[in-house]
Structure formats: C-alpha cells, structure tokens
A and B are shown apart, each in its own frame.
Chain A
C-alpha cells in the first residue's frame, strides 16, 4: 500500500510538470494578452506593466521563475486582472466555498443515488423500479443551468423560503439550492450505475450459492452483493468528486456563491495567466489524488487487486 502511494506520487510529479508546461505554452501562444484591450495602451505604459509582471522576459525564463516561485515559496504569483490580489488569495477565498458545497453535493449524490439504485435493483420491474428509472432519466436530461433558475423561481420567488443567491459565510439556507442543482445529475448517474451493476451481481453464481445456503435476502444484498456491485460506481466516483469540488461556473454564476469555478472561467476570458495556471495545477493535483483514492478503494473491494 505504502509502496503503491509512493509509486503514484513519483508518477504524479512528471504528470504535473507536463500539465504545467503544456498549459503555460498554450496560453502564451494564444494571441493577445492580459493587457490588450480595444483601446491599446500607450507603448510606454504597456512596457512598464509588462516589466512589472515579468512579461518582457523570454518565455522559458518566465516559466522557470514561475516554477521556482511555486516550489520555494508556494507562491502562484499575482493576478493580472484583480489588482493587489495574488492567486493564493483567490484560491484561499474561493476554494473553501467550492469545497463546502462540492463535498455536500458529493455525499448527497452518493447516498440518494446509491439508495435509489439499490432499491430499484432489488425490486426490479416494480413501480419503485420504474419510478427510479424515470427520475434518473429526467434528472440526467435536465441541465443544471435550467434547473438552477427553476429552483430560484420556485423557492425564492414563489415560496420565499430560501435566499436566491450569495454565500453569506456558508449559512445552510445558501447551500441548499447550489447543492441540489449540482448533485442531481451526478445522483442520477450513480443511481443508474448502481442499479445495473447490482442487477448483474444478483444474477451471478456466488449469489446463487448464497441463496442455496439459506441466507435471508437482506444478508445476501448487504454482505454478499453490495461490495462487488460498487466497483463500476467507484470508478465513476473519482472523476465525479473532482468535478464537484473543483467548482462549477454555472453554479457560481447563477447563485453568486463566489467559488473558484467563476474565477476559473473569467481568468480564461481575461487572459489572467497566473490565476488560470494556479487553478489548473490545483485541479490537476486533485484529479491525480482522487484517481489514487479510487485505486485504493478498488483494492479494498476486490481482494484480487494487489497494490
């Protein structure tokens, strides 16, 4: 296990370096820059600004300074667009918000999706099964940019139960709607995966053995069938978790929650290289981390897998 983690980290470092170089290069080659606008700045002013941020240096020198900054001081550099704020400040402000509603959405998606999928599989072809399949199809076809305004319409404008936006330090009233909007489609995917894999496991030979032993259905489901049927779900959970905790531009834009999803998309529009790069590295590291967690979970579920 420890060896596995060390091996994975050893592979993660070159992966991150390649990610860094590739995204840096892509942004440098795209025409324009953070300080180009419709009305060009006077040449002298532009040169001064570029000198301040080090943009007059050769590209390899910029990249080198950037990497050295990260490694020695954990400094992702200043934002080009938000004056007097560093990338570290932006992450420190936005990431906790995203992490909060992301983790809650993740838990909701697993618990509701898992329960729905398992109960649909156990009662295959019953009204419960048809209901679950119907709900999950509906939830999957409804995009969150449609769902979010509907939620605001119903709960804020009509019923007046919940605030229509903002974060307010993470009060629970402000969390509910972002979580529903973000988790629904993941919940639906998990339910569908869970249902089909549970159905497959329930048809397998070892379940027949368990029945022949005289085990009650409850024990068969929880002790014999659940763990193997989690395999396909777990492989989906890695990317799903990263998708949820790395933020959603739509959630941040519609509910004004101020998570990193909003900063990320704006950074791309504004050519805010530093913010863009910082967030890319953050997301890249999280993706690598959660894929590793998924592999460890795999080994826990299936004793044949040795890490």
Chain B
C-alpha cells in the first residue's frame, strides 16, 4: 500500500487534490481511497487529507501515520506544522516552491505549482489553483500515470487549463 499525506490550507483544494489523485489511481486499475480529515477547518488554516493506493481493496480507515509521500501545497505551513511527522525513512517530500528544499535526510522534490497556475491564469477568487498541477508532479514521480491524471481532471473540471497545468508540472518537476 502506498500512503500519501497532503498538507494544504483550508480553501486551497487539498481535499479535491486527494479525490482527484484517488480517481487517477483507480483509472490506473488500482484500489484507492481519499480520506479528508474533517476538523474545525477555516479558510487559511492548515489541513491534511490522505490518499491510499493499493493493488488490493483497502480496509484501513484511520489516518495515515507513516506516509510514503508527503505533499505540501503551501510551503509556509512547514513553519507551523511538522510535515515530516511519521514519514518513512525512505519516504519522499514534494513541496510547492520556487526553490529547492532540503528535507533533512528525506528526499525532497520541489516544483513551482503556484507559478504554473499564475502563468496559465488559473486563478479562482484570487487564489492560484495548485491542486490540479500537483497531480502532474505526482504522475512524474511515477505514482499514477499522466493519462489517468488527465482523465481524472477532465472528468471533474471543464476548464482545459487544469489539464494544461498538470502537464506543465509534469514537465517541470525534476526527478
């Protein structure tokens, strides 16, 4: 089982990101669950959501405590939340950032999802949309296929720029 924890801020689309990622994994023919953690969220507050992907039906409903991959959609969260908590020793970290992030002993990857969203004018209510490009970066890491990411996004959003953003992140992420 591959376990992913997504850190974002309320209103940033972390829950939708988890759902889209699970949808892409299921399009790859795998079992997947997306579990948003519902607390007393407010817009802007740090939130987490979880995705599990497996070849077998998934029977776990509790929160992910030992993730294989941590995704951070807003790097400023790392000032207030220990995003590395429980991360497996060979686990990976993907950060939405313009500059490299050295994840003390963990393999860190970075990609400028915000920049990609702005370059495509993918902005809703003043906020750049970072969750759909995030899927492209995760595809580049080999966790889901890019075709399934395209399908999952196109099935959910009519605006083509979401797929374009995912493709841009796929191109830009260095693995």
Q: Do A and B come from one complex?
A: no
